[in-house]
Chain A
Amino acid sequence: MLNFIARRLIISAAIIVLLSIVTFGLLRVAPGDAALLASGGGFIPKEQVEAERHERGLDKPYFPISIRATDPPFVRWNSDNQYWAWASDILRGDLGRAALTDVPVSTAIKDRLPTTLELLVLTMSTTILFGVPAGVISALYRNSPIDLTVRFGAILALSVPSFWLATMVLILPSEFWGYAPPLGRTVSFMDNPWDNLRQFVPPAIVLGIAASATVMRLTRSSLLEVLRADYVRTARAKGLRESLIVYRHALKNVMIPVITVLGLQFTGLLGGTLFIELIFSIKGLGFYTYEAIFRKDYTVVQSMTLYIGIVVVMTQLLIDITYAWIDPRIRYS
């Protein structure tokens, strides 16, 4: 088991390093001038922009190794480069500062994490609360009208774009009843639980609907498969009650793939929150990342990508370990 975890940890670290290099490179090829943006943008004297560029180290080579096809030496070694400067800051725990506001990225994360976390927790609850029971009911009443309705509902939920659903959830009530949830600033649960829930529950349900459709489909198909297994037949032959067979014997095995998919849904939701936070103007990490991508704020995008990458890889690792722990066969394959 320890061996297994160690191996997975090394792979995870390698993935994160790879990710950081790729994002770093991609952002550097992106059109748009970070130095110009940092100095205010628009009609700034050229010298001032160059000074800003020098101060931020944006005139240095990008990577430790640079390749030039035009003049020898074709492969150069740069001891002073942007990637290394950034990476060593990260290793020291300094995530850098936002170019425009000069607020440290770590402060922004600390301020905004609770918001996004609350949204994610509510969304995951919605997903489990809708997805698992719907899947179980659908499998137990296979091919009945209930099953067909639930299945069609799930396909429909996977087809409706969440950004449109969110837009509709916001504009329809305001059009017909003049109702709007508190917008603009984020209300903390401690200060005003009611306003806080009014703000967070609609986006959580919108995000959770699509995720729960996936969970429902998987719960249904795994349960159907398990109900055909020999041990379920044995349980039936022993004369156990059907409810006992389903809840005690079958569901336990169904939960293994469902947990995996829940983990995958969680990482997928990190992308979903970006939309939802934007539409509901909730100032969380998704909103922050979106703004940074739009402003070409290198530091913030890099740090946020790394941050999301670490969360994703750690979730993956956690799933793998849980999986290997539940099912010993996996460790040896």
Chain B
Amino acid sequence: MSTDTSAIHPAGIEQILAAEQELRPRSSTTRKLLHVARDNPLGTFGLIVIVALLVVGTFGPGLAVSIPFGGPQIVETPRLTSHAYDDIGVGTKNEDPSQAHPFGTDKVGRDMLARVVAGARISMLVGFISVVGGIAIGMLIGIFSGYSGGWVDSVIQRTVDSVIAFPGLVLLLILMSVFKPSMTTVTLVIMLITVFPTIRISRGATLSERNNQYVEAAKSIGASSNRILFRHLAPNILPLGIVLMTTSLGAAILAESALSFLGLGIPEPNPSWGRDISDARNTQPIHVWWALFPGIAISLTVLAFNLLGDAIRDIADPRLRGSR
């Protein structure tokens, strides 16, 4: 569960793009993208997996679409799987993988393929909402802290230090024991623990950015603090946020599954990869297939985000290319 995000230089992207424009003959955007993809095969693989997971997560369990003008009726779109994740008894209990149930069934005869597919939606939802929210809040506080300096900065930084020092998993557990487990609380708690490292990193970026000449130039023509913060500093620190998001998403999805595994995460009837593993473990006799597929799903998802995160970091800072 490592979100190692040291040494990111947000100004990197612009510099590379500018350099590339000079060096390469003019080419279409598609060709440029293909170039980037060819240079980062692992990152491209990650991106493809993520897009596939998003599609599967969105359309897999079926969508309920309400029709705006024809009244309040709801139309269910067809599922990608032949069963719903909560259809009890579509197979016999603890079935091994077969043609009818490629991933087998669980202890109440639910189709595991349908559950793994529906689990993708939950993981992605919790992951995206918590990380986007957490990074946004963290960056706002971090930029504010770094720009204002003085005792405000000290207080914020000491608080961040003490929270970061504490083992993340224990912190998650204590927080979740306070709240009643639900999708909202799980998302909020993961958001909360994403905020703190983000504060530290974006503060560092602000500090190094603050001393640049363009800030001095803006000050000298009489720009207000707010204008410097939002018009000059923020756009330069924003690419950092994108890097942080990709690297944190893997960690967020791991955190959700870990909480669900401990029974403090997503409650029934929602499917969760982590809870399915724990349910499989606690059934006698243990049904190996039941625990296997959700685990592969978690690993593949987190791997995809880690690969994409590494690739984006390499592009953002070419000095680190291939070094991590």
Binding site for B on A (CB under 8 A): 11, 14-15, 18-19, 23, 26-27, 29-31, 142-143, 152, 155-156, 158-161, 163-164, 167-168, 171-172, 174-175, 210, 213-214, 217-218, 220-221, 224-225, 267-272, 274-275, 278-279, 289-290, 293-294, 296, 301, 305, 308-309, 312-313, 316
Contact = CB atoms under 8 A, between A and B. Distances in A.
Nearest to A167: B281
Nearest to B254: A161
A110 B166 CA distance: 22
B277 A214 contact: no
B161 interface: yes
B2 interface: yes
Interface in B293-324: 294-295, 298-300, 302-303, 306-307, 310, 320, 322-324
B175 interface: yes
Interface of B: 1-2, 4, 42, 158-159, 161-162, 165-171, 173-175, 177-178, 180, 250, 254, 257-258, 261-262, 274, 277, 280-281, 286, 288, 291-292, 294-295, 298-300, 302-303, 306-307, 310, 320, 322-324
Given A164-B299, A168-B295, A175 B286 contact: yes
A267 B1 contact: no
A164 B165 contact: no
B324 A217 contact: yes
A236 to B, nearest CB: 20
B286 A171 contact: yes
Contacts of B162: 15, 18-19
Contacts of A220: 323-324
Given A159-B299, A270-B170, A30 B178 contact: yes
B288 A171 contact: yes
B2 A210 contact: yes
A289 B170 contact: yes
Given A23-B174, A143-B322, A270 B167 contact: yes
Nearest to A139: B323
Contacts of B322: 142-143
A143 B322 CA distance: 8
A159 B50 CA distance: 14
15 contacts: A11-B158, A14-B158, A155-B307, A159-B303, A159-B306, A160-B298, A161-B274, A163-B274, A167-B291, A175-B288, A218-B4, A270-B167, A270-B170, A293-B173, A312-B167
Nearest to A163: B261
A155 B49 CA distance: 15
A88 B149 CA distance: 36
Given A18-B162, A220-B324, 12 more contacts: A15-B162, A26-B178, A31-B180, A159-B302, A161-B295, A163-B277, A174-B286, A210-B1, A225-B323, A268-B1, A271-B171, A313-B165
A161 B169 contact: no
B170 A274 contact: yes
Contact of B288 (A26, A172, A269, A305): A172
Contacts of B174: 23, 26-27, 293, 301, 305
B4 A29 contact: no
A174 B310 CA distance: 37
B295 A19 contact: no
Contacts of A155: 303, 306-307, 310
B257 A161 contact: yes
A131 to B, nearest CB: 12
B258 A158 contact: no
A63 to B, nearest CB: 17
Nearest to B302: A159
Chain B contact surface mostly: helix
A290 B172 CA distance: 12
A294 to B, nearest CB: 7
A167 B257 CA distance: 14
A12 to B, nearest CB: 9
A161 B299 CA distance: 7
Contacts of A289: 170
A164 B173 contact: no
Given A11-B158, A143-B322, A175-B286, A274 B165 contact: no
B324 A221 contact: yes
Nearest to A268: B167
A274 B173 contact: yes
Nearest to A295: B177
Nearest to A175: B288
Contact of A164 (B158, B168, B277): B277
Nearest to A160: B299
Contacts of A309: 166
A15 B161 CA distance: 9
B277 to A, nearest CB: 6
Nearest to A152: B42
Contacts of B1: 158, 210, 268
Contacts of B302: 158-161
Most chain A CB within a 10 A radius of its CB, from B2, B294, B306, B324: B2
Contacts of B158: 11, 14-15
- For the complex of A and B, 8 pairs with smallest distance between CB atoms: A271-B169, A271-B167, A164-B295, A159-B303, A159-B302, A15-B162, A30-B178, A160-B299
Contacts of A27: 174, 178
Nearest to A257: B6
A172 B280 CA distance: 13
Contacts of B274: 161, 163
A163 B180 CA distance: 23
Nearest to A294: B177
A167 B42 CA distance: 28
A19 B178 contact: no
B261 A271 contact: no
Nearest to A313: B165
Given A221-B323, A224-B323, A272-B169, A158 B178 contact: no
Contacts of A161: 254, 257-258, 261, 274, 295, 298-299, 302
